[in-house]
């Protein structure tokens, strides 16, 4: 039996506005490219070197899918494995930040063990769901902040 790997739909787009995006392309037509979770890539050369980072292309919205007219696109190319990992890591960090904020908003007090535990489980589930899709490594995410707080809470329960 021959197994074929389905090509990953992750691309870089250079828009005529000058913006560089990394995104998952869902559909294309003669007039529109629809993409999911686009990140805008930025370059920082302030210290003499070059550092690349990415932010949500259109932050503070609920939508994940964005249609872009073909007339606004200068170039589209497949992301290499290295940049697929970069893209997935940034998406995961954004989602983890959202989970942390949700946990903070839902905690009744600083020792709300159940809410913290739920947050850690959500983050671990997120990592497992993204791990294969983006070829992420085990050290791509750091749960230590929450796990440290959980351990302190457990210790305080034992002492009382």
- Provide, rounded to the nearest whole percent, the portion of the chain with pLDDT above 90: 38
Residue 21 clears pLDDT 90, i.e. is over it: yes
Q: Which pLDDT band, with edges at 50, 70 and 90, does 91 fall under?
A: very high
Cα–Cα separations (whole angstroms), residue 115 to 2, 150, 151: 46, 10, 14
Give the CATH number of domain 10-78; options: 3.30.465.10, 1.10.3720.10, 2.30.30.100, 3.40.309.10.
2.30.30.100
Q: What is the pLDDT of residues 54-81, one digit of tens each?
A: 999 998 888 889 999 999 999 999 999 8
Q: What pLDDT, on the 0 to 100 scale, is given for residue 5?
A: 47
Residues of the chain with pLDDT > 70: what percent? 78
pLDDT for residue 56? 93
- pLDDT higher for 152 or 67? 67
Pair 134, 82: CB distance under 8 Å:
no
By C-alpha distance, which of 153, 159, 84, 158 is closest to 119?
Answer: 153
Would you say residue 39 has pLDDT above 90? yes
Residue-range domain boundaries for the chain: 10-78, 81-159
Residues 22, 30: Cα–Cα separation, whole Å: 21
Which pLDDT value is given to residue 115?
77
Q: Is the pLDDT of residue 49 over 70?
A: yes
Instruction: Identify the CA nearest to 22 among candidates 34, 7, 40, 8.
Output: 40
Q: Per the structure block, which two tokens stand in for 147?
A: 């796990």
SS3 122: helix
For 130-149, the pLDDT digits (tens) are 888 887 776 656 666 666 66
pLDDT band at 1 (very low <50, low <70, confident <90, very high): very low
Question: Once rounded to an integer, what is the mean pLDDT over residues 9-27?
Answer: 95
Q: Name the DSSP class of 2.
A: -
Q: CA-based diameter of the chain, in Å?
A: 67
- pLDDT given at position 18: 96
Residues 154, 6: Cα–Cα separation, whole Å = 45
């Amino acid at each position: 039996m021959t197994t074929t790997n389905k090509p990953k739909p992750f691309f870089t787009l250079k828009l005529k506005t000058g913006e560089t995006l990394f995104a998952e392309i869902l559909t294309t037509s003669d007039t529109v490219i629809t993409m999911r979770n686009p990140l805008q890539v930025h370059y920082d050369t302030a210290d003499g070197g070059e550092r690349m980072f990415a932010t949500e292309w259109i932050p503070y919205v609920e939508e994940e899918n964005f249609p872009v007219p073909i007339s606004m696109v200068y170039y589209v190319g497949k992301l290499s494995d290295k940049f697929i990992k970069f893209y997935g890591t940034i998406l995961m960090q954004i989602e983890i930040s959202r989970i942390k904020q949700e946990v903070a908003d839902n905690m009744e007090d600083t020792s709300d063990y159940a809410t913290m535990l739920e947050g850690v489980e959500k983050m671990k589930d997120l990592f497992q769901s993204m791990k294969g899709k983006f070829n992420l490594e085990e050290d791509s995410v750091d749960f230590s902040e929450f796990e440290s707080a959980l351990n302190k809470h457990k210790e305080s329960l034992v002492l009382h």
